[in-house]
Chains A and B, each alone.
Chain A
Amino acid sequence: MAYVAPSPRFLPWLTRKPRPKVVAEGDKRVQFSSPVLPYLFLAPQLAVIFIFFYWPSVQAVSSSFYIEDPFGFGSTFVGMSNYTDVLTSAQYRGIALFTVVFTALVTLFSLSIGLLLAVKADAVIRGSSAYKTMLISVYAIAAPVAALIGMMFFDQHIGPFVEVASWFGWDMRVGLSYFDTAFAMIVVAVWKQVPYNFIFFLSGLQSVPVSVREAAAIDCKSGFRRFWTVTLPLLAPTAFFLLIINVTYSLFDTFGIIDVMVKDKAANNPITLVYKVYEDGFRGNDLGSSSAQSVILMIVVFVLTIFQFRFVERRIHYT
């Protein structure tokens, strides 16, 4: 349940402790009973949810079966053709492929850098709180701001990265070359996500009981092997939780990064599926196709959720 309308990162417990059957009542031994009050208390929240969540969601599904007249004169029912158009389009498949590669790389790098830093921060004593502060300080910087700063580092005129790349004979042209733009996007997306993974890995490491650490230290001299055979398995629940979070981050929360990196005009630059929904909807005014893509993404989110509940939470259970 990690991927969340707003940022998923504030909902860790949902993923950590899924409740097989949701107990919404009877949590308290004593409860008030009143015919009106609870509904009154629920009303504002439910009203907002119905107007701004269910209504648009239902509209997304329904308009995915229609083709809207570009001049706003009504719409025609076309069945599944928006879906077949989208799924058979080579361009869409290309974007889907890029999204998969992008997600895999961002997840891989931000998880491994986060883990490495957490392990080291857990190991040192001197200065550990200073390191911690520095490592998490950039955690809450918004994606577009991170991307804007990234753009400056990759800028043709003033970017130090472009200069460094040129030492190695790499003529880096972010915004013009597909590969270079993708590279810059991944760097910024990883930069933004490392602190988050760091926080979780560190807290996971620190919750490993001292007795376990000591026993491992006695039994096994090699620090590396100890990490591999004892610490990492104990971190598995955290790691899997983070895996899902990072995947959803790469899919959805990177929107701001992509929008800034392509400078508002995607042209030939790499984009992800979410960006395509936006582009077709707002730029192309192709409501039907945009909605069909929305629904496809909804299904992706849904499958991820199921995967998380069924697979991750059941199989990996060390704690």
Chain B
Amino acid sequence: MQKNKLSDHLVLILGSLFLMVPVVVAFMTSTHAAADIHSNGLSLTWGGNFVETYEKVLTREGGFTGQVTGSRMVMNSFILGIGFALGKIVLSMLAAYAIVYFRMRFATLAFWVIFTTLLLPLEVRIMPSYQVMSELGLLNTYTGLIVPLLASATGTFYFRQFFKSVPDELLEAARIDGAGPIKFFIDVLVPLSRTMIAAIFIIMFVYGWNQYLWPMLMTTDERFFTLMRGIKQILQVWIGSQIPDYNEAFALAVLAMLPPVLIVVIFQSWFIKGLTESDK
């Protein structure tokens, strides 16, 4: 039994190392000077060049891109993440409210229209989506970056599921008290959904933050570059023997993964709950 326990821990430690070491190495290496990385390779120890590297990445123009600074990219990533999360919550809460709480014709039709969006990932319809966007003149705008991503049913289903679990008595009581649909929504349902809204917000924020393909197609103007788009930029200078400044590339990667990692670690239980228990 004792031996078994030991091997259990061994497996877990190996697993944790497998998953964690790349992240730690990326961070540690980013604190070394470029020349240092070139001669000594990746590093697991602190390099002492932290301030210089990150200051350069965040505030200087150039490097991998022509004119955009790292902080601008951080800001754009936040705009995309927050804008996407808020838009998602507003659109999907309203739609779910209509579907669950109203007697109406075409309810089934509306449900299916929304439901079908789950069938086709963005990746398989990128080309026509791009054309639609350029016809609408939305290339290189924040609207073009955010709004098309809202065209999916994820949030709607979350809220639909949640609203269905809200006891019917609440609505009955509210109606006896004379509350109309709008008052019920604002005064009862929204406050009740607070945790749900918060959970969806962080999940959607991470999803928006991590968008790669869409920003890559939508933005050619560097002012709209997100961090993910910046990573694409690293690749474009990394051709053959032309090697990028490893420390800056790592610093950009660290900036791009910091919010998702922090959010998952801090809101661990929400994440796990949101993922695994949402079928209740």
Binding site for B on A (CB under 8 A): 1, 3-7, 9-14, 16-17, 22, 24-25, 27-34, 37-39, 41-42, 44-46, 48-49, 51-53, 55-57, 59-60, 63, 113, 116-117, 120-121, 123-124, 127, 131-146, 148-150, 152-153, 157-160, 163, 191, 194-195, 199-200, 203, 223, 248, 252, 255-256, 259-260, 263-265, 274, 277-278, 281-282, 287, 290-291, 294, 297-298, 301-302, 305
Residues of B within 8 A of A135 (CB): 12, 15-16, 19
Residues of A within 8 A of B29 (CB): 152
Q: How far is the CA of A33 from the CA of B177 in the complex (A)?
A: 17
B60 at the interface (CB under 8 A from A): no
Whether B212 contacts A255 by the Cβ 8 Å rule is: yes
Residues of B within 8 A of A223 (CB): 4
Q: How many residues of B contact A (CB 8 A)?
A: 118
Whether B124 contacts A277 by the Cβ 8 Å rule is: yes
Q: Which 9 A-B pairs have the closest CB atoms?
A: A13-B279, A140-B260, A24-B111, A142-B210, A281-B127, A38-B102, A59-B128, A56-B128, A45-B95
Whether B114 contacts A49 by the Cβ 8 Å rule is: yes
Whether A131 contacts B272 by the Cβ 8 Å rule is: no
Residues of A within 8 A of B129 (CB): 52, 56
Query: What is the chain B residue whose CB lies nearest that of A305?
Result: B119
22 CB contacts below 8 A, A to B, read A6-B122, A10-B274, A13-B157, A24-B99, A24-B112, A41-B95, A49-B114, A57-B120, A127-B9, A127-B12, A135-B12, A135-B16, A139-B264, A142-B256, A143-B212, A145-B231, A149-B26, A160-B41, A199-B276, A263-B239, A291-B127, A301-B121
Determine which of B12, B112, B261 lies in contact with A141 in the assembled complex, contact meaning CB atoms within 8 Å: B261
Q: How far is the CB of B271 from chain A (nearest CB, A)?
A: 8
Could you give, for residues 120-147 of chain B, a 1 whenever the CB lies within 8 Å of some chain A CB and a 0 otherwise?
1111111111111000100000000001
Q: How far is the CB of B111 from chain A (nearest CB, A)?
A: 4
Whether B147 contacts A42 by the Cβ 8 Å rule is: no
Q: How far is the CA of A45 from the CA of B88 in the complex (A)?
A: 9
B98 at the interface (CB under 8 A from A): yes
Determine which of A59, A117, A136, A144 lies in contact with B272 in the assembled complex, contact meaning CB atoms within 8 Å: A136
Residues of A within 8 A of B26 (CB): 149, 152
A-B contact count (CB 8 A): 362
Q: How far is the CB of B165 from chain A (nearest CB, A)?
A: 10
Query: What is the chain B residue whose CB lies nearest that of A139?
Result: B264
Whether A117 contacts B12 by the Cβ 8 Å rule is: yes
Determine which of A42, A44, A287 lies in contact with B110 in the assembled complex, contact meaning CB atoms within 8 Å: A42
Comparing B68-76, B190-198, B201-209, the segment that makes contact with chain A is B201-209
Q: How far is the CB of A265 from chain B (nearest CB, A)?
A: 8
Instruction: State which residues 229-258 of B face A: CB under 8 Å.
Output: 231-232, 234-236, 238-239, 243, 246, 249-250, 253, 256-257
Q: How far is the CA of A46 from the CA of B128 in the complex (A)?
A: 19
Whether B108 contacts A25 by the Cβ 8 Å rule is: yes
Determine which of A55, A141, A142, A287 lies in contact with B23 in the assembled complex, contact meaning CB atoms within 8 Å: A141
Given contacts A14-B118, A48-B151, contact A33 B19 (CB under 8 A): no
Residues of A within 8 A of B274 (CB): 10
Q: How far is the CB of A63 from chain B (nearest CB, A)?
A: 7
